[in-house]
Chains A and B, each alone.
Chain A
Amino acid sequence: MSVHLEPDSTSGVAPPRRRASFLAGARAMVPLALAVTPIGLTTGIAFAQLPVDPVAAWSSSWLLYGASSQLVAVTTFVTDATGIAAIVASLVVNARLALYGAALAPRWREQRAGWRVLASYLIIEPQFIHAQERDGRPGTPAERAWHYLGGGALLWVYWQVVTAVGIAAPALVPHADALWAAPLLCFVAILAPGVRTRSAKLAAATAGGVGLVATALPWGAGILIALTAGMLVGGRRRTEVTS
């Protein structure tokens, strides 16, 4: 009797190659994981300053898994204890993740549903960068899939640890105020290599400009408005160039 396994691209690779791709993905994620350390620490330190259950606040690291949405959800909950504003604000901030998912979805068509759910759960900016970087190099879909999971696993575990350190051990970061610029510089460092084309520069400039004005809007709507404006303006430039 033979057992039929549903074919997918992750099973189409020998175990040693899977391990090698998984470990290579984890190694490639190390710089990005280290880069988010200041954000993780400051997120944790911010939670520790708020009048909320620290364990519940830390749990946002695996329930929401994203610094901006975690901060928005927990801080909005502090100002509006009904929780509705916190949920809406978090969803608005996370709306960009659906767009990342749209960008990655075509590459995952051959994967099983369970794999796609796991891979989707891991979607966040550094993971997206990690996937984009790997796609620019040769390799099979299976190797890319294991590479993605390797990077995602490392970043996820690291994020849980670093936010916990930020919450539980503020004494380890006695001069946390000195890190005030770290989160902003982190975004600059991640953004800079991604804006090489004129349309990307236009999209970033528009999103940044609109974001400066729209950030004051309630429920984090400013980020979504700025993101949409940047995409529309940058995309318009591309269309003009193409036509």
Chain B
Amino acid sequence: MSLWVVLLIAGIGALALRVAFPLFIPRLSISPRWQRQVDLVYPAAMAAILAGGLHGLVASSSWARLAVLAPAALVTAWISRRTGSVLAAIGAGLAVVLAASVIGLG
């Protein structure tokens, strides 16, 4: 199977997953309990994807990078919560990483 065919099938599957509820069950009345559960999709999904990236660093024993990433992530999270600006938060986090690399860490 060529990559084109794989991506086409995967793309159709992705679209089916995306439209499943909005198109076919738009009038599904969601109970408050289920709605509360759905509200947790976003933080749980973000954390799960983030953990996947961290797993890569752990698996490759990149301890120095993990040591740099920890303060950078704290700074990023703090600025994101304080300012609401994702861009400023990433910029500050990368500045921490850059500073660490300049002094020979990471």
Residues of A near any B CB (own CB < 8 A): 31-32, 34-35, 38, 52-53, 56-57, 59-60, 63-66, 68-69, 73-74, 77, 81-84, 86-87, 90-91, 94-106, 108-109, 113, 116-117, 119-121, 123, 125, 128-129, 132, 178-195, 199-201, 203-212, 215-216, 222-223, 226-227, 229-231, 234-235, 238-239
Contact = CB atoms under 8 A, between A and B. Distances in A.
B17 interface: yes
B36 A238 contact: yes
Contacts of A119: 22
A181 B94 contact: yes
Contacts of B37: 231, 235
A206 B69 contact: no
A108 B18 CA distance: 13
Interface of B: 1-11, 13-15, 17-23, 25-30, 33, 35-55, 58-59, 65, 68-69, 72-73, 76-81, 84-87, 89-90, 93-94, 97-98, 101
Contacts of A181: 65, 68-69, 72, 93-94, 97
B62 to A, nearest CB: 9
Q: Chain A: interface secondary structure?
A: helix
Contact of A226 (B35, B48, B90): B48
6 contacts: A101-B18, A121-B19, A188-B77, A191-B77, A212-B51, A235-B36
A136 to B, nearest CB: 12
A117 B19 contact: yes
Chain B CB within 10 A, most for which of A84, A200, A205, A207: A207
A204 B40 CA distance: 8
B85 A99 contact: no
A120 B19 contact: yes
Contacts of A84: 1
A73 to B, nearest CB: 5
B15 A121 contact: yes
A96 B18 CA distance: 9
Given A35-B87, A117-B19, A189-B93, A223 B46 contact: no
Nearest to B79: A189
Contacts of A116: 19, 22-23, 26
Contacts of A178: 97-98, 101
A46 B2 CA distance: 19
Nearest to A30: B87
Contacts of B98: 178
A180 B97 CA distance: 9
A209 B90 contact: no
A73 B47 contact: no
Contact of B47 (A31, A63, A99, A208): A208
Contact of B10 (A64, A128, A230, A238): A64
